Structure formats: structure tokens, C-alpha cells
Amino acid sequence: MDSDFLKQKNKQTNAPIYLYTIYDYDGASNNLTFAEWSEDILFDSITYQKFPISHDEIGDNSQGQTPFLKVRISNISRLIQYYLETYDWRGKKVKVTLVWLDNLDNPDCKFDFTFFIDSYVVNEKVAEFNLLPKVDALGITLPRRTYSRNYCQWRFKSVECGYAGAETECNKTKQRCKVLDNYTRYGGFPAIPTKRLYV
């Protein structure tokens, strides 16, 4: 560990802050940055937005199972649920960075943990993520699909979608499928209880 990091860690009055980066959350190389703090945090020229987010201690055991991390993000505003229903976050890289309040001006005084999203479940209050330190060596995403009530999984005008009309855009909702008279090919799961998303 960096000597400055250890010095800050051992200070009685200093406060640890956890910063979270979710990489390429939208498939367009944009990142989400959150701070588990009461105000926005500027660290290493990056602003981390204050947000209700937390994580458990890194799980591990003596049986040699893969270490994991459970992260919880508030879903009260439904923002996280919107992202998850629009983009598939399985396999996305997540970096958890531990920094110290008294040493935010030193970009080397940090400790990084890198994980990948393995699975998640969302309700009306919270999104809970299970993170693993590496992705499947075979590069296979399982399960193959997410199960969403309100959003179609198919690419517009793909074989699965089956739409062959003149329209050029689709927002992947049930309502849009009905407008396009293509609801029989809707790629969502309307029978799933409301306010939940499963993968």
C-alpha cells in the first residue's frame, strides 16, 4: 500500500469515503460515478455524485470460493431501474475506490477494488448487485436474457422482433409494440409482478 494511504488510514479523525465507478453503463463508453457521502466528491479530476449507495464487506471463505461483493443503490427515484431496464449491466466493470476525506488532493492516496456485475435484483426501493472479481473465462453471459415486464429485449427489426414496416425507431415498450401492431412479438414478460426486475 502507498505510505500516504496507510498514514491517512491510521489517523483517528480522518474519514474513509468509498467512490464507485460503473464503466460503460450505457454501451456508449460513458461512466457513472457515485460517492457514498453527504456531498459530491472531487477526486483525481473526477466528480463523484453523492448518492445513497453502500456495500457489504467482501465475502470470502476457507473453501476457496470466489470472493464477491454485494452493492446496494437506492432506487427511490427509479433512475437505476430505468438504466437496468434499458441497458444490460451484467458483466459491466465496477471499481470501488477507498479514499480519505483529509487527503482528496492526493490522487495516489487510494485503494482500488475491481469487480464485475454478475447479477442484480431491483424493487421499488433498492437495486442490489452481486459483484465478482472476474468474468466467466468462456466469455458467456448467463442467463442469456434479462426478464423485464416493461421493456422488449429484441433489437428493432431483428428476426426476433419481426417488424418490417416503415417506422425507423422503437423505444422497446409494450405501448410502442401495440402502436406498431407487433405486440405478439413483444420481447418482454408482462406477467412479471410490477416494480421488479430479475436477471
pLDDT tens, position by position, 120-154: 999 989 999 999 887 554 555 445 556 666 778 88
Q: Does residue 39 form part of some domain?
A: yes
Work out how many domains the chain is built from and give that number.
2
Q: Is the pLDDT of residue 40 over 90?
A: yes
Looking at the fold, whether 17 and 104 belong to one and the same domain comes out as yes
- Supply 59's cell numbers: 465475502
The SS3 call for residue 185 is: helix
Q: Are 5 and 110 in contact (CB under 8 A)?
A: yes
Q: How far apart are CA 70 and CA 85, in angstroms?
A: 20
Q: Which of 5, 9, 18 is nearest to 115 (CA)?
A: 18
The band of 199, judged by pLDDT with boundaries at 50, 70 and 90, is: very low
Looking at the fold, whether 158 and 131 belong to one and the same domain comes out as no
Looking at the fold, whether 132 and 161 belong to one and the same domain comes out as no
Q: Does residue 48 form part of some domain?
A: yes
Q: What are phi and psi of 93, to 5 degrees?
A: -80, 135
What's residue 107's pLDDT?
Answer: 92
Percentage of the chain beyond pLDDT 70 is: 76
What's residue 61's pLDDT?
Answer: 46
Q: Are 154 and 137 in contact (CB under 8 A)?
A: no
Q: Is the pLDDT of residue 64 over 50?
A: no
Q: Which of 78, 97, 84 is nearest to 33 (CA)?
A: 97
Looking at the fold, whether 171 and 135 belong to one and the same domain comes out as no
- Where is pLDDT greater, at 22 or 111? 22
pLDDT averaged over the chain?
82
Q: Does residue 198 form part of some domain?
A: no
Looking at the fold, whether 47 and 76 belong to one and the same domain comes out as yes
What's residue 99's pLDDT?
Answer: 92
What's residue 147's pLDDT?
Answer: 63
Parallel/antiparallel/unpaired status of strands 41-43 and 111-122: unpaired
The band of 65, judged by pLDDT with boundaries at 50, 70 and 90, is: low
Q: Does residue 71 form part of some domain?
A: yes
Residue located via cell numbers 419481426: 162
Chain centroid to Cα 3, Å, comes to 32
Rg of the chain taking only CA atoms, in angstroms? 20
Q: What is the domain range of residue 179?
A: 151-191
Q: How confident is the model over 43-69, as a mean pLDDT?
A: 77
Q: What are phi and psi of 172, to 5 degrees?
A: 70, 20
For Cα atoms 134, 138, 139, give the angle at the middle one, nearest 5 degrees: 65
Separation in Å, CA 74 to CA 96, 107, 112, 130: 17, 28, 23, 15
Looking at the fold, whether 91 and 168 belong to one and the same domain comes out as no
Q: Which of 118, 116, 119, 100 is nearest to 108 (CA)?
A: 100
Q: Are 168 and 188 in contact (CB under 8 A)?
A: no
Q: How confident is the model over 93-117, as a mean pLDDT?
A: 91
